[in-house]
Structure 1
Amino acid sequence: MKIMVIDGNSILNRAFYGIRQLTNHEGLPTNAVYGFLATLFKLQDEERPDRTIVCFDVKEKTFRHLKFDTYKATRKGMPDELAAQLPLTKQVLDALGIVRCEKAGYEADDLLGTISRRADEHGDTCVVVTGDRDSLQLVGGGTTVMLVSTRMGQTTYQTYDTAAFREKYGFDPIRLIDLKALMGDSSDNIPGVPGIGEKTAMQLLHDFGTLEGVYANIDDERIKKGARTKLQNGEQSAKDSYWLATIDRSVPLELDVEHLPAQDIDETTLYDLLTRLEFKNFIKRFDLSGESVSAPRLPELKTERVENVLEAFNLMDSLTDCDRVYAIVPETLGAVCLLDGDTAHILFAEAFGDAWNDILRRLFDGSLPLVLHDAKAAVRALLQRGMDPKGIVFDTAIAAYLLDPTQSGYDLPRLALAYCNAELPELDLDDPAAVSLLGGQEDTEKAVAQHAGALRAIYAEAADRIEQLGMRKLYYEIELPLLRVLAEMEAAGCAVEPDELRAFGDKLDVRIRDLTEQIYHDADGEFNINSPKQLGEVLFEKLGLHAPKKTKTGYSTNVEVLERIAEDHPIVPRILEYRKLTKLKSTYVEGLLKVISPVDGRIHTHFQQTVTATGRLSSTDPNLQNIPVRTELGRELRRMFVAPDENHVLIDADYSQIELRVLAHISQDEHMIEAFKHGQDIHAATAAKVYHVPLEEVTPQMRSSCKAVNFGIVYGISDFSLAQDIGVTRKEAGEFIKTYLDTYPGVKKYMEDIKQTGREQGYVTTLFGRRRALPELKSKNFNMRSFGERVAMNTPIQGTAADIIKIAMVRVRDRLLRDGLQSRLILQVHDELILEAPKDEQETAMRLLTEEMENAFRMDAPLVAEAKAGHSWYDAK
């Protein structure tokens, strides 16, 4: 029999520090449990043990502590976020039917040692899994030790049998005890022999075999005089350390290793735990479902298919007095499910023919208070059918995003798992087969009813929490109205010039061909420029350039590496330019041509409202927010986005330095506020103060340096990063940052205060109540804690700026409608809004756009926006 015995505390601890912070929707930390289970399941799959045992430490003092109260005295206690996950881990193990072993007075190491010894005596093989090298002393006979390491979410293993141990250390595994007796172990506060380090200890063991052999040959000439004195003075400490480092392999365990129970999974309890933890992949691993749970998480619903127009209108009339109507409406509008009490009413478009649009108009005429999930796609589809959808009073996807903005997705099944402890059946109402009379409508009815039930349950909790967390205004006055604005923008799309786009691509092709020939000439031969491997060989072997970085797979040729050697050979800047141009061609020229709609010849991007943790919008399919603007060729792409005809123009307005203005307002720094109030160039004004010169004597270089700090300061820019940005030494950059913060004491105070606030509250907020949880601020890991501090400083700034642009979008759209203008909002790119306007509305629309943007929010550092107009986006910019 093959037994795998796991050091539970060790693996849990490594998972906690090795995997980014994860929480469920309750705010319960889950990263350690997740990492532990991922390691457990991977090991079980790879090792295929017949039985698995997990050993844990207990709180009571062990026999080592009782004899030496200094043992492990320097170890810090378990972080609260990890401690909260320990009982959950044990509960999951119990539900998995995995044997747990713990005993008062002993450490997990002693249990591992005892179990492995017993297994060996019975002729079984034993794999000890731990992250603690102390357990390597157990290697031998039928026992191997697998050392686990987790970094940046990646778990690796190194297996030791006797041969592997000897190869690395040069002596038998049991002699690891002698090694620790000599050199000590600071992590366990085992003193060893004071003054004897690892190198000396290793040599002593190679020369004399054991601790006893060292002292038996204390006068041997191979022991240097200084080491001999230390050994003689520290002999008792060495003996005590030997005792402390020795794993007790004779613990009186009641566990019968010969007759371990088979792993019998309690599906009900396991499903409960995994759904609470929101581990959907693990639920799938065991093929668990809500059917295995005795108490249903969602009430059973009746389904009723509505099949004629009169019934459909009567149903909707009967729902007008409801507080909320829960509706499942797919993007393709091929079916609708309306939940009323315990009955899910299902309407399939196919059954209604030409009357279906009339039904949709009635459903969205504003008389029904509709709750939907991720409604923007359906709203866009309704707009494209010429309808004016109204009545959406809640969107559960947006609410879930506000409540926890760092999740990787907010689809209904994921939220049902998080909020309702229920796993929903698969459902794709955008699949024609699911809604066809010839397809599986009966299965669809059952599935969509469960989705509607989950929608109602999620709404009940999410709506309440939005109120409790003070996000009512953010949700109902900013995010929910924005849904309609974004849908309208997506439906409208942007006009483009495909012929100009192709011509631009041809222009790039000519330059790319020229560069390719020059690169081949420089390399004295042809090669695949797009192959990092071949490029690395050409640069660093054939041409002999210095390789700043080499990876396991070969030479690194990323942008950072190439920029560092750009002056070493003409081929390097050519390769950098080649990469930029080929990306422009493939990503933007070819990419944009592919997504021009055959219906209206416009590009319809999708604005993502629930993706970024800061609240900023993103754009996909295509991503119009990443169109390059730093190079002239990149900016040329904006010429391709145009007004639809000679009677229209594009109007572009962007906020001037909005994040710095928000910083000035939030930090209440008098100097920064005054600079903005007087319309000064903030970077020049900063330079004047930092360099102690009159404003008129500020040089471009001074302004550039201060611009780098102004924009980097709220991202927690380091002296190292600033030094690279402005071309000074790290010491000079550090002094520059210090001078900057002395110049703006309000900013300095804000940066310290917000980090402290984040640590105390566990989160930070924008001025509008947008919340970002930051468990990283309490992490013992320096890099993780530093990340948390940077996010704490930046989120209120960037998040507030994101909120303001959203307010502006809603205000601009509503004002255009209210004033009866034909102009419409078609694009948003970070702090920039673009209107498409008839020429006869140009001046009015420019004034309206500027007014609404500048009045979106009153700040001590006033918002400034400037509008320009032109035939193309380039001209308007």
Structure 2
Amino acid sequence: MSQQTPTLFLLDGSSWLYRAFHALPPLTNAQGQPTGAVFGMGNMLRKLLASESPEHIAVIFDPRGKTFRHELDANYKANRPPVPPDLSDQFEPIREMVDGLGLPILQIDGVEADDVIGTLARQAEAAGWNTVIVTGDKDMAQVVSDQTVLYDTMKDRRMDPAGVVEKFGVGPERIIDLLALMGDSSDNIPGIPKVGPKTAAKWLNAHGDLDSIIANAEAIGGKVGESLREHLDLLPKSRELATIRCDVELPLRFDQLKRGPSQPEVLRELYARMDFHRWLAELNDAEAPAEATPEAPAEPEQTHYHTVLTREALDALVERLQAADLICLDTETDALDAITGGLVGLSFAVEPGEAWYVPVAHDYMGAPEQLDRDEVLDALRPVLEAEHPPKVGQHLKYDINVLAHHGLQLAGVDFDTMLESYVLDPTAGRHDMDSMAERLLGLKTTSFSDIAGKGKKQLSFNQIDLEQATPYAAEDADITLRLHQTLWGRLAEQASQRKVFETLEIPLLRVLARMERRGVLIDAGHLQTITNEMAETMRQLEQSAYEAAEGEFNLNSPAQLKDILFERLGLPVKRKTPKGQPSTAEDVLSELAAEHPLPQMILDWRGLAKLRSTYTERLPERINPITGRVHTSYHQAVAATGRLSSSEPNLQNIPIRSQEGRRIREAFIAPPNHRLVAIDYSQIELRLMAHFSGDRSMITAFVDGRDIHRNTAAEVWGMALDAVTDEQRRAAKAINFGLIYGISAFGLARNLGIGRDEAQSHMNAFFDRYPGVRDYMDQCKTTAAEQGYVETLAGRRLYLPDIKARNQQARQYAERTAINAPLQGTAADLIKQAMIDIDQWLTDEHPDVRMIMQVHDELVFEIPEDRAEEMAQALARRMEAVGQGLAVPLVAEFGIGNNWDQAHG
């Protein structure tokens, strides 16, 4: 486009506000009013105004109610769910903000925003103007021309006619035909069943246009051709519904859409009402530029990425780092395993837009000479091993371990963008850098596969040419720094969440890094024995299954199993898959096991196959050849409640009660002259229920040291404690844990194998005896509905966007989460607090005692055998001490053994 030609910016306001609503956590102001869509759209508007400085601009919204397309087809957009109340409540504040920024608004009764935009674009084009349509809507591609482009600000991508062809396979003039063929489920445009975008584009390129496809329908083969011929009558209406009208009557011409002066008083009142404190401060600061947005710092006009190949350049970089207020760093390695991966290079950023990459091990043919890795680390050591300047990174635990593997102990680890995003809202979306850059900065970053390829031919980073490696690695540091500036601005304003970040997640990051480096000793020979035993048991199960099925079949084949269960054996279909086939999922087989022996055999066989492939065969492969130990990876930013998870291996998924699970735990062994000590919290979630609910009966039971399950049985069945049978205790345990997870009478009846009425009677008796628990549950749901989230004792928030959902199933799930999340989350916070305290105590006073694993509510230690009993008691007391202030005592129970099973038992 020529810079001298006038340009009209047309913003698809309806598309933008939906994207803003779903891109951010469900923010609210102090009065509990939703503000996330206003904030998100405000960020995008301010960024656009700052970067483009448009003179001619308008924001176009869809009308309320039906449009002329509903007259063409009463089912048009009938599949769309109603507008979420939390979004509709923000429509008016969004209009206030657009007005306050001086931008014209168009909303035409009976006419969709697309048609208004199309009409204005064609008017401008006829007058020789250029038009930028700001939208993410694929339908608008039909309006693209040499003078009109689409601009997706979330991906920072502009689409001209060539871009339309690249994305859709056809030019703008054929987009309507493409849409008619493929249909659009969100708009309820029927299209041709089985025809997707690739097939539609192929047909259009082969035949020219939709009319030619219709005329030659008999010549198109295959099932998709049959589908075309069967539904030809749908195409005229589909084409009409997909066509954007470019000739609607409008109250204003394109050249009358001018950006006016902003209205500071309107914005000031709105920002104050919305609790947008930084924007408000900006308005009140005469020297601050109007477009500055602390929550989303303006992008630098250019990026400067440097490759450091000389000692002089390295010394200059070190000097720059030492003078910085904050250092963002990232490492590149030749393998994903931080414990064994070789360091290939390091990247740094100290201000947005500029970054450095220091390569040390690129060894492809023709690679330039690079600085020696040890020389680089020695030069960087004084600044990286110092507490100041503070450091920030994305998933910095990985970099800590990479550097530790090469003899450098990173210090000053104060920030981590992955954890900042996670603490702000664990359910907001993915917390990886690429996803956050797109969601929060509107930037599409370079992925590793873009430069390294995919699959078996994918290159490792040391094989990447520096001309590609430097922009990729430097971008990682640059974007991470920008993400930190955005996220920290928000986190710093949330006192409770900032406390969770600073006192739990960041200190724990360092603890987990040390635990990962320590690893655990594995007895590979024992695992081979278990593998052989499982193989024999699986063979026996196969033979039994063949006999039960009256013939051989592949136990791994759902299709064959389906035929045997429901056709040959005639078992009832309990549930169907989304494709309408009888389900053979685990819960279905469990239900069918009561009617025939084969389903249980399949379950047993599947369970052994999973344990064998996941643990007994895989664990020996995970033994590090240097350390002789297995090093699991702990994940802080996965579970919404704050619980840790792990992978390679996943320690949480080893069965606790099964014989096979216990055998696998036997393979986790203590080194010579040491013992494993396993300590876990007893019934921590029930204890927390007593604290949160304030129920006097439950609190008294725990304070008096009673068995809570036996106590509940006595309460529910109205008997003395010593009269409770083991069966009644087991039932009471199911009631206790079921109710804190929000189980229904139907679910409890199924778990206990009793009638629904009897289960409901047990529930009623439970709540009669523990009335505070019922009150707590009701209060949780009320509070969650009022503020949109629940909190742990430490202040960790879990947002519940479905708490007011009209869909009953979604709302009820959110209500159950509102009850249980504070319990699970507080339990997670407490064990994290214990890990931080214990790690510091052991480092300072008992360095020969090592914390090596965390699983659910359990910590596992390696302790010299002559001190195992003494230290186990001391560690258990420290774990209990983090519960000071609770209404009931925490109890930590320990076991000691030569392997994990002995210690855990």
TM-score by length of 1: 0.68
Q: 1:518 aligns with which of 541, 544, 557?
A: 544
> Which moves more between the two structures, 520-529 or 339-348?
339-348
* 1:211 corresponding residue in structure 2: none
* 2:299 corresponding residue in structure 1: 297
Task: Sort the Cα spacing of 1:749 and 1:145 in 2 relative to 1 into closer, same or farther, 3 A.
Answer: farther
Is residue 81 of structure 1 aligned with residue 106 of structure 2?
A: no
Residue 711 of structure 1 and its aligned partner are, at CA, apart by 1.1
Partner amino acid, structure 2, of 1:604: H
Superposition pairs of residues 339-488 of structure 1, within 5 angstroms: 339-341=349-351, 343-349=354-360, 350-368=370-388, 369-426=390-447, 439-470=464-495, 471-488=497-514
Task: Sort the Cα spacing of 1:58 and 1:664 in 2 relative to 1 into closer, same or farther, 3 A.
Answer: same
Q: Is the CA contact (8 Å cut-off) linking 2:634 and 2:647 kept in structure 1?
A: yes
Task: Give the whole-Å Cα distance in 2 for the aligned partners of 1:735 and 1:329.
Answer: 60
Task: Give the whole-Å Cα distance in 1 for the aligned partners of 2:491 and 2:611.
Answer: 43
* 1:58 corresponding residue in structure 2: 64
Task: Sort the Cα spacing of 1:61 and 1:540 in 2 relative to 1 into closer, same or farther, 3 A.
Answer: closer
Q: Is the CA contact (8 Å cut-off) linking 2:181 and 2:192 kept in structure 1?
A: yes
Partner amino acid, structure 1, of 2:509: L
Q: Is the CA contact (8 Å cut-off) linking 1:330 and 1:429 kept in structure 2?
A: no
Q: 2:611 aligns with which of 584, 591, 594?
A: 584
* 2:208 corresponding residue in structure 1: none
Residue 101 of structure 1 and its aligned partner are, at CA, apart by 11
Superposition pairs of residues 162-311 of structure 1, within 5 angstroms: 256=247, 297-309=299-311
Is residue 24 of structure 1 aligned with residue 24 of structure 2?
A: yes
Partner amino acid, structure 2, of 1:58: R
Task: Sort the Cα spacing of 1:329 and 1:717 in 2 relative to 1 into closer, same or farther, 3 A.
Answer: same
Partner amino acid, structure 2, of 1:460: Q
Task: Give the whole-Å Cα distance in 2 for the aligned partners of 1:562 and 1:59.
Answer: 48
Partner amino acid, structure 2, of 1:455: T
Task: Encode CA deviations 1:847-875: one digit per residue, 9 max, x unaligned.
Answer: 23212211123111111101211110001
Q: Is the CA contact (8 Å cut-off) linking 1:419 and 1:457 kept in structure 2?
A: no
Q: Is the CA contact (8 Å cut-off) linking 1:433 and 1:439 kept in structure 2?
A: yes
Partner amino acid, structure 2, of 1:727: G
Identity %: 35
Superposition pairs of residues 548-587 of structure 1, within 5 angstroms: 548-551=574-577, 552=579, 554-587=581-614
Task: Give the whole-Å Cα distance in 2 for the aligned partners of 1:351 and 1:473.
Answer: 41
Partner amino acid, structure 2, of 1:326: C
Task: Sort the Cα spacing of 1:504 and 1:434 in 2 relative to 1 into closer, same or farther, 3 A.
Answer: closer
Task: Sort the Cα spacing of 1:87 and 1:467 in 2 relative to 1 into closer, same or farther, 3 A.
Answer: closer
**Secondary structure of 1:775's match?**
coil
Residue 307 of structure 1 and its aligned partner are, at CA, apart by 3.9
Task: Encode CA deviations 1:384-431: one digit per residue, 9 max, x unaligned.
Answer: 334432111111111111012014422223222333333334468997
Task: Give the whole-Å Cα distance in 2 for the aligned partners of 1:532 and 1:716.
Answer: 32
Task: Sort the Cα spacing of 1:548 and 1:813 in 2 relative to 1 into closer, same or farther, 3 A.
Answer: same
Partner amino acid, structure 2, of 1:456: L
**Secondary structure of 2:802's match?**
helix
Q: Is the CA contact (8 Å cut-off) linking 2:331 and 2:402 kept in structure 1?
A: no
Task: Sort the Cα spacing of 1:318 and 1:587 in 2 relative to 1 into closer, same or farther, 3 A.
Answer: closer
Task: Encode CA deviations 1:74-107: one digit per residue, 9 max, x unaligned.
Answer: x999724256489999x99xxxxxxx99753x59
Task: Give the whole-Å Cα distance in 2 for the aligned partners of 1:77 and 1:649.
Answer: 59
RMSD over equivalenced CA pairs, Å = 4.3
Q: 2:663 aligns with which of 630, 636, 639?
A: 636
Task: Give the whole-Å Cα distance in 2 for the aligned partners of 1:144 and 1:326.
Answer: 49
Superposition pairs of residues 644-723 of structure 1, within 5 angstroms: 644-645=671-672, 647-723=673-749
Task: Sort the Cα spacing of 1:660 and 1:330 in 2 relative to 1 into closer, same or farther, 3 A.
Answer: farther
**Secondary structure of 2:343's match?**
coil
Task: Encode CA deviations 1:215-265: one digit per residue, 9 max, x unaligned.
Answer: xxxxxxxxxxxxxxxxxxxxxxxxxxxxxxxxxx9xxx996489xxxxxxx
Partner amino acid, structure 1, of 2:488: A
**Secondary structure of 1:684's match?**
helix
* 1:768 corresponding residue in structure 2: 794
> Which moves more between the two structures, 575-584 or 771-780?
575-584
Task: Give the whole-Å Cα distance in 1 for the aligned partners of 2:422 and 2:84.
Answer: 31
Superposition pairs of residues 810-825 of structure 1, within 5 angstroms: 810-825=836-851
Q: 1:532 aligns with which of 544, 548, 558?
A: 558
Bigger radius of gyration among the two = 1
Is residue 601 of structure 1 aligned with residue 607 of structure 2?
A: no
Q: Is the CA contact (8 Å cut-off) linking 2:666 and 2:899 kept in structure 1?
A: yes
Partner amino acid, structure 2, of 1:876: A
Task: Sort the Cα spacing of 1:777 and 1:147 in 2 relative to 1 into closer, same or farther, 3 A.
Answer: farther
Q: Is the CA contact (8 Å cut-off) linking 2:511 and 2:836 kept in structure 1?
A: yes
Task: Give the whole-Å Cα distance in 1 for the aligned partners of 2:623 and 2:82.
Answer: 60
What is the aligned residue count?
A: 667
Task: Sort the Cα spacing of 1:512 and 1:425 in 2 relative to 1 into closer, same or farther, 3 A.
Answer: closer
Q: Is the CA contact (8 Å cut-off) linking 1:869 and 1:875 kept in structure 2?
A: yes
Task: Encode CA deviations 1:609-646: one digit per residue, 9 max, x unaligned.
Answer: 1111110001112211100122112221100110122x
Task: Give the whole-Å Cα distance in 2 for the aligned partners of 1:733 and 1:640.
Answer: 41
Residue 29 of structure 1 and its aligned partner are, at CA, apart by 6.5
Superposition pairs of residues 15-164 of structure 1, within 5 angstroms: 22-24=22-24, 27=27, 56-58=62-64, 79-82=85-88, 84=90, 103-104=108-109, 158=190
> Which moves more between the two structures, 680-689 or 382-391?
382-391
* 1:168 corresponding residue in structure 2: none
Task: Give the whole-Å Cα distance in 1 for the aligned partners of 2:406 and 2:874.
Answer: 29
Residue 360 of structure 1 and its aligned partner are, at CA, apart by 4.8
Task: Give the whole-Å Cα distance in 2 for the aligned partners of 1:565 and 1:632.
Answer: 23
* 1:164 corresponding residue in structure 2: none
- The runs of 5 or more residues in structure 1 that have no matched partner are 1-7, 35-53, 65-74, 93-99, 116-126, 128-142, 162-248, 259-294
Task: Give the whole-Å Cα distance in 2 for the aligned partners of 1:493 and 1:335.
Answer: 25
* 1:836 corresponding residue in structure 2: 862
Residue 367 of structure 1 and its aligned partner are, at CA, apart by 4.0
Task: Give the whole-Å Cα distance in 1 for the aligned partners of 2:323 and 2:490.
Answer: 25
Partner amino acid, structure 1, of 2:674: H
Residue 686 of structure 1 and its aligned partner are, at CA, apart by 1.2
Q: Is the CA contact (8 Å cut-off) linking 2:831 and 2:857 kept in structure 1?
A: yes
**Secondary structure of 1:840's match?**
helix
Task: Give the whole-Å Cα distance in 2 for the aligned partners of 1:430 and 1:324.
Answer: 29
Task: Give the whole-Å Cα distance in 1 for the aligned partners of 2:723 and 2:747.
Answer: 27
Task: Sort the Cα spacing of 1:447 and 1:794 in 2 relative to 1 into closer, same or farther, 3 A.
Answer: same
Task: Give the whole-Å Cα distance in 2 for the aligned partners of 1:103 and 1:408.
Answer: 34
Superposition pairs of residues 495-510 of structure 1, within 5 angstroms: 495-510=521-536
**Secondary structure of 2:412's match?**
strand
Task: Give the whole-Å Cα distance in 1 for the aligned partners of 2:733 and 2:546.
Answer: 39
Residue 321 of structure 1 and its aligned partner are, at CA, apart by 5.2
Task: Give the whole-Å Cα distance in 2 for the aligned partners of 1:30 and 1:472.
Answer: 23
**Secondary structure of 1:347's match?**
strand
* 2:206 corresponding residue in structure 1: none
Task: Give the whole-Å Cα distance in 2 for the aligned partners of 1:605 and 1:474.
Answer: 24
Residue 817 of structure 1 and its aligned partner are, at CA, apart by 0.6
TM-score by length of 2: 0.66
Task: Sort the Cα spacing of 1:475 and 1:778 in 2 relative to 1 into closer, same or farther, 3 A.
Answer: same
Task: Encode CA deviations 1:130-163: one digit per residue, 9 max, x unaligned.
Answer: xxxxxxxxxxxxx99999767xxxx9875699xx
Task: Sort the Cα spacing of 1:739 and 1:338 in 2 relative to 1 into closer, same or farther, 3 A.
Answer: same
**Secondary structure of 1:778's match?**
coil
